[in-house]
A = this chain, B = another copy of it.
Amino acid sequence: MEEREISQAVIGRLPRYYRYLGELLSNGVERISSSDLSKRMHVTASQIRQDLNNFGGFGQQGYGYNVKYLHTEIGKILGLNVNRNFVIIGAGNLGQALANYAGFERSGFILKGIFDVNPRLEGVSIRGIPIRMMDDLKAFIMENNIEIAVLTIPKTKAAEVAQMLADTNIKGIWNFAPTDLHLPKEVVVENVHLAESLMRLSYKVERYNEEHME
């Protein structure tokens, strides 16, 4: 594919295209028109054409999009064409739930280790992966080519652990702790602030109520 600048707005929509194309693919669909995809995704066909033009994944007029080609190209843009090793730090309820989710592996994210400070969890296994103590984290990251750390620890510990991670080769942090991390730019962060998401839902509920009680 040609090198080309793709806007942030388009990038933000790619995971959703990737998901829909993946579903089509597993349903055996080989090609789809922008108007059919538009109906499925509840997005205008013109938006879809504009977005997907970035990837050149459209054939002749009337042919539609080649599903497999587009899925592959978008996967490459998202960096999903290579495997990435990750560790989960914090084996509480949320950490264990994420550790038990096998779906990440299908996108190339390979869980290599789980870490906690609680000595009672030491050696307990989740999907065959033993929980290790935090003292071993740094060496483990170095020795196992870990690119991503998932932080499912209390916010009071998050800054300190993130700082420790910044001193390793780690490239990205998927942060579930309800706090903002301030790290050198070579460590990228993606936040999942669940409490804030719930507040946005609450806002929508409240606003809908107000508008329909007047």
Contacts and interface: CB of A to CB of B under 8 A. Distances in A.
Interface of A: 11-12, 14-16, 18-19, 41-42, 77-80, 84, 92-94, 96-98, 100-101, 103-104, 107-109, 147-148, 171-174, 178, 180, 182, 185-186, 188-190, 192-209, 212
B198 A109 contact: yes
A193 to B, nearest CB: 7
A173 B204 CA distance: 10
A197 B190 contact: yes
Contacts of A12: 200
Contacts of A92: 97
B171 A205 contact: yes
B190 A201 contact: yes
Copies in the complex: 2
Given A19-B178, A103-B195, A109-B202, 16 more contacts: A11-B203, A14-B199, A16-B196, A18-B199, A41-B180, A78-B203, A78-B206, A84-B205, A92-B97, A93-B97, A94-B97, A94-B101, A172-B204, A186-B208, A190-B204, A192-B192
Contacts of A172: 201-202, 204-205
Nearest to A201: B190
B171 A203 contact: no
Contact of A200 (B15, B101, B206, B207): B15
Contacts of A182: 42
Nearest to A20: B180
A91 to B, nearest CB: 11
Contacts of A173: 201
A68 B171 CA distance: 38
A28 B77 CA distance: 46
Contact of A79 (B180, B188, B203): B203
B15 A195 contact: yes
